[in-house]
Structure 1
Amino acid sequence: MSSKSGGTLIVLEGIDGSGKSTQAKLLYDWLIKEGYKAVLLREPTNGKYGRILREKLKSGKLPPDEAYRLFLLDRIEDVQTNIIPALKKGYVVVIDRYFISTIAYQGASGIPIDKIISDHKKYGVPIPDIVFVLDIPADEAINRLKRLKRNFDSFEKKDFLEKVRKIYLNVGRYIPTLVIIVDATRNVKEVHELIINYVSRFLSGEKEE
């Protein structure tokens, strides 16, 4: 993984049902309202490998090593096409899932975490400035997904989600950056206000340098 210059990279993470996609969009909207140049991205992307990955995930027949390969290829494409160009232009890049998801989900699937980190370093994947992990128990996440009438994939079973959650709660030991654990059982407004409070202070500090 590499450091980056120019912009700011903010990542929202969490198990499925944690509300991270909602919070990523709210953060992006707030940044635009406050006058920042910002872009909102999501992984898996809608690129070549991201589309293949989504289709295979729907089938429920995707071996862990193949899932990892596709996630990595999709991310490399995203980094080269979207993330690095935006950072070089000074944008605040907000990402709904990033390589931290791979550490958590593919790590819980049996892919060695040291391999995941090594591969991402090799391909120069930028390290985020801030990672928000939206934490929620697996039971509550599943209840939320049921209310949304979601079809569950292989990554959305309770036992597996709890394994993923445990990795998320300890992800700070794997990446040299600011990791903030957020209680995602709180309401949407409270979570949003907590996030923008951190982001506002971080960006203000950068401006003063």
Structure 2
Amino acid sequence: MSHDKKGFLISIEGIDGAGKSTQIKMLQRWMQDRKIEHVILKEPTAGQYGREIARRAIAHEATSTEEELWLFMEDRKEDVEKNILPALRAGKVVVMDRYYQSNIAYQGARGLDTEKIREENERFSPRPDLVIVLDIDPARGLSRIVNQRKSQLDAFEKEEYLQKVRNIFLDIGRQPNGVIISADQSPEKVHQEIVKAIEERLPADFFK
């Protein structure tokens, strides 16, 4: 599906514990300093479907992989229509804290066809201009979660499962619009590599 857009869409991906939230905050400051018009969006959203995804996760409620994917896609349809496409058409940089690449990885690791997930999402979702995969060993990511959040691990955070998720993310990062950055280094170093990847691809007219 073709989309009329002048903006630039970045998806930041990786398993839990890779440091996406920290890096997105650093990236936001970097763009603000350079007066790059941008919006930061997070999926799942705070909309009705996103809230249902969160409720089920917190309650550890059993959900089939197919139903889980359906909820994510319904949530994304709203996000694309209300937030993503309007921002792109306004010529902004849109930074996604997870996008449909996460569905490819997480639901793909649970047995769904990764190519079918991609195709179904791209029927209504604009493709990212850049997918940044923050890569970390699952054991390291899990230890970060426990140490930093002091929280119990949820169903998405089992090591063996996360290794499958990681492998799919690595495949995504090897695509022409992807880049893989090691998250097992200082936040400052990760940030530098993210900025380098963006500067290499972001058209010059975004820098005022």
TM-score class, shorter? over 0.9
Establish whether residue 107 from structure 1 lines up as the match of residue 73 from structure 2.
no
> For the Cα contact (< 8 Å) 1:57–1:153, is it kept in 2?
yes
Aligned to 1:133: 133
Establish whether residue 164 from structure 1 lines up as the match of residue 165 from structure 2.
yes
Aligned to 2:146: 146
Cα 1:143–1:113 change in 2 (3 A) is same
Q: Secondary structure at the match of 2:9?
A: strand
Cα 1:204–1:119 change in 2 (3 A) is closer
- What is the alpha-carbon distance in structure 1 between the residues aligned to residue 173 and residue 182 of structure 2? 16
CA RMSD of aligned residues (A): 1.7
* CA displacement at 1:26 relative to structure 2: 1.3
Establish whether residue 87 from structure 1 lines up as the match of residue 88 from structure 2.
yes
Establish whether residue 34 from structure 1 lines up as the match of residue 34 from structure 2.
yes
Aligned to 1:49: 49
Runs of 4+ in 1 over 6 A off after TM superposition: none
Q: In terms of mean alpha carbon deviation, does 12-21 or 55-64 score higher?
A: 55-64
Q: Which amino acid aligns with 1:183?
A: S
Q: Which runs of 5+ in 2 are unaligned?
A: none
Cα 1:2–1:164 change in 2 (3 A) is farther
Q: Secondary structure at the match of 1:65?
A: helix
* CA displacement at 1:145 relative to structure 2: 0.5
User: CA deviation digits over 1:24-60, x for unaligned, max 9?
Assistant: 1211221111011111010011111000110011222
Q: Which amino acid aligns with 1:90?
A: G
Cα 1:206–1:100 change in 2 (3 A) is farther
Q: Which amino acid aligns with 1:76?
A: K
Give the number of aligned pairs.
Answer: 205
> For the Cα contact (< 8 Å) 1:2–1:121, is it kept in 2?
no
Q: Which runs of 5+ in 1 are unaligned?
A: none
Q: Secondary structure at the match of 1:128?
A: coil
Q: Secondary structure at the match of 1:145?
A: helix
Cα 1:196–1:4 change in 2 (3 A) is farther
Q: Secondary structure at the match of 1:40?
A: strand
* CA displacement at 1:200 relative to structure 2: 2.1
- What is the alpha-carbon distance in structure 2 between the residues aligned to residue 141 and residue 119 of structure 1? 29
Q: TM-score when scaled to structure 2?
A: 0.93
